């Protein structure tokens, strides 16, 4: 078994989940293999000799990072996925699991997002290059299934969060950014923090261990060509999320909304019925409980001196 991106946020949790089954996956890390290079991917497959491939490797960030790196994110995600898909064909792997993204959905897709609505419009502009690159891999997976009988499945997870997340304020997603800002502001006694947008957009969040479980179930039980959402089916506004994070971190200062910054997609919530029907996946971690665990993890791993800056 090969897991690309196995040293990353989601990948580290999936590796632990797989080890719980008594299996030891081959973990492809960026420092060892550049997946945008066809030669490196060929070398990887020669070393791993996999029957099952789970492709998690990606370049992604929050709104700011997506806005700053549209070309890079389009290119790297497209090329990594295309090379993994082609080498899976060449190597004759038994099964390939590809991860897409909720960012592939149209900006104004009907809520909840259903898999059949994936092509009914263009993605939200700030993350469209990333979303389009990932969606192209769905087309490739379906094409390879039809022409080469490669059993490749495509999963669409919502925004993930949890221990080992990226807490860099330049490239992180909303939950780790909120946690870091509020923990540090609380420790420094700062009277306010500034957040992007107006707080009105809604998002759905999936605890990373739940996502790892969904991927593992799909790898074992699902062999279809249609994409499948992975999420909780529940949404929360960014404003409500900020208030909940403030409560859990003990931050009691003012939250200032910078409305000159983009909001991103207006609403995000998935129809998650297909995952339950096809391979029995249902998220089990409530947002509050997941946030508490993530905050505890961040505090115990917080770099020394960050609160004193």
Q: Which of these, 182, 195, 158, lies nearest to 295 by C-alpha position?
A: 182
Cα(221)–Cα(60) distance, integer angstroms: 28
Tell me, what DSSP letter sits at residue 53?
E
SS3 163: coil
**Residues β-bridged to residue 123:** 106
Cα(305)–Cα(124) distance, integer angstroms: 37
CA distances from 6 to 10, 28, 172 (A): 7, 6, 19
Q: N- to C-terminal Cα distance for the chain?
A: 44
Q: Do β-strands 26-28 and 159-161 pair in parallel, antiparallel, or remain unpaired?
A: unpaired
Cα(50)–Cα(2) distance, integer angstroms: 6
> Mind telling me the catalytic residues?
130
Q: In this structure, are residues 112 and 270 in contact, taking their beta carbons and an 8 Å threshold?
A: yes
Question: 156: part of which helix (H) or strand (E)?
Answer: strand 152-157
DSSP state letters, 188-239: HT-SEEEEES-S--EE-EEEHHHHHHHHHHHHHH---SS-EEES-S--EEHH
Cα(88)–Cα(58) distance, integer angstroms: 17
C-beta neighbour count of 290 within 10 angstroms = 22
Q: In this structure, are residues 87 and 39 in contact, taking their beta carbons and an 8 Å threshold?
A: no
Rg of the chain taking only CA atoms, in angstroms:
19
């Amino acid at each position: 078994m090969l897991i690309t991106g196995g040293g990353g946020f989601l990948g580290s949790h999936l590796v632990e989940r797989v080890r719980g089954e008594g299996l030891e996956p081959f973990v492809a890390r960026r420092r060892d293999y550049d997946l945008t290079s066809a030669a490196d991917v060929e070398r990887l497959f020669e070393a791993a000799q996999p029957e099952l491939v789970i492709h998690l490797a990606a370049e992604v960030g929050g709104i700011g990072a997506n806005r700053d790196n549209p070309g890079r994110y389009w290119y790297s995600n497209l090329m990594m996925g295309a090379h993994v898909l082609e080498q899976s064909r060449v190597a004759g792997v038994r099964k390939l699991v590809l991860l897409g993204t909720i960012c592939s959905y149209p900006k104004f897709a009907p809520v909840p997002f259903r898999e059949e609505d994936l092509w009914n419009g263009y993605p939200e502009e700030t993350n469209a290059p990333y979303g389009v690159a990932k969606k192209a891999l769905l087309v490739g997976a379906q094409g390879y299934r039809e022409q080469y009988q490669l059993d490749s499945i495509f999963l669409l997870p919502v925004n993930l969060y949890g221990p080992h997340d990226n807490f860099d304020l330049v490239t992180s997603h909303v939950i780790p950014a909120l946690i870091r800002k509020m923990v540090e502001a609380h420790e420094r006694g700062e009277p306010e923090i500034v957040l992007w947008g107006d707080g009105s957009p809604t998002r759905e969040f999936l605890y990373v261990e739940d996502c790892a479980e969904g991927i593992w179930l799909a790898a074992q039980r699902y062999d279809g060509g249609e994409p499948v959402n992975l999420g909780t089916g529940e949404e929360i506004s960014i404003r409500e999320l900020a208030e909940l994070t403030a409560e859990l971190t003990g931050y009691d200062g003012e939250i200032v909304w910078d409305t000159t910054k983009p909001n991103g997609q207006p609403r995000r919530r998935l129809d998650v019925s297909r995952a339950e029907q096809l391979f029995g996946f249902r998220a089990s971690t409530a947002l509050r409980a997941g946030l508490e665990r993530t905050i505890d993890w961040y505090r115990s791993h917080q770099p020394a001196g960050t609160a004193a800056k």
